[in-house]
Amino acid sequence: MFAAQKARAAPLKAPVAELFRFQRRHLVLASGFVIGIFAFRYMASTYLTSYATHHLGYSRDLVMFVGVLGGLAVIAFTAVSAWLCDTVGRRRIMLIGYALALPWFFAVILLLDHGGPVLFAAGIVGTYAIMGFTNGPVATFTPEIFPTRYRYTGAGLAFNIGGILGGAIPPTSAGALMAAFGGWSIGLMMAIIVLVSLVCTFLLPETMGTTLKDTDTHTGRWGEVSWPRKVRRYGLRAQEV
């Protein structure tokens, strides 16, 4: 694909500038749909584990063991969702994951504050499981959004913007929110982040059944990707229905 693109047109002299000029919508939406995944990952692995040790008084051995269980949950649920995204659809799997995530953080704070070690483990492992389920399609979905001319820059920049916003802001602000307003404020913050990712995912096209060449075929003169409405929602195979 990249060789064919190079044969059709000269490489971009300023790829980032061109991306912001012609692919702003896709860049914003692609960055937005990964924010929630990074927020879940780093809240579970940093803030919540620190909170369990310093505020709830759990031993480091328990917290580390629960972290290992969470890692196994990520592996298992990422594998399941990666398989399902080729059957059900990338966009649909991520929408399901974020729909589950939306109320979860209100519940997980309650589990941590009012339960014992078993409920703490359930909260952390559940957080990792939802994150893994939502994360499965990301590596496929992100590059499929962008036409070849912008794919490498677009996918890389979107992933890193989402990683910075989702991985840095929630863990660093959670302590101040907890001290000022209590645990419900952390649940609200995470719900807002997940809602942003849910909306961004909804606004992106379904890419199941498409090829990278199909994306280029539907790319307009100025670099915009325009899919028919039925394809945007259900994938290219929907044209056959």
SS in 3 state form for 90-117?
HHHHHHHHHHHHHHHHHHHHHHHHHCCH
d(CA 11, CA 151): 12
CA 35 to chain CA centroid, Å, is 5
Asked whether 113 and 184 are in contact (CB, 8 A), the reply is no
* Domain-embedded: residue 139: yes
Asked whether 93 and 85 are in contact (CB, 8 A), the reply is yes
Res 201: pLDDT = 94
* Domain-embedded: residue 13: no
* Domain-embedded: residue 14: no
Res 73: pLDDT = 96
Kindly tell me the number of DSSP H helices and DSSP E strands found in the chain: 12, 0
Residue 208, classified by CB atoms within 10 Å of its CB into exposed (0-12), middle (13-18) or buried (19+), is buried
Going residue by residue through the chain, which has 241 residues, state the pLDDT in tens, using 9 for 90 and above: 545 544 455 555 677 788 888 888 889 999 999 999 999 999 998 999 888 998 888 999 999 999 999 999 999 999 999 999 989 999 999 999 999 999 998 888 888 888 789 999 999 999 999 999 999 999 889 888 888 888 888 999 999 999 999 999 999 999 899 889 988 899 899 999 999 999 999 999 888 877 666 555 545 443 445 544 544 454 444 444 3
d(CA 187, CA 72): 24
Any idea what the CATH number is for the domain that residue 68 is in? 1.20.1250.20
**pTM exceeding the 0.75 threshold for the entire prediction:** yes
Element (H, E) at 39: helix 24-42
- Domain housing 178: 22-240
Q: Tokens 């945007």 belong to which residue?
A: 232
The total number of structural domains in the chain stands at 1
* Domain-embedded: residue 205: yes
Closest CA to 200 of 88, 87, 36, 82: 36
Res 217: pLDDT = 54
Maximum CA pair distance of the chain?
Answer: 62
* Domain-embedded: residue 147: yes
Res 183: pLDDT = 84
* Domain-embedded: residue 41: yes
Res 236: pLDDT = 47
Closest CA to 192 of 130, 103, 76: 103
Asked whether 100 and 133 are in contact (CB, 8 A), the reply is yes
Element (H, E) at 226: none
* Domain-embedded: residue 6: no
Res 227: pLDDT = 47
* Domain-embedded: residue 1: no
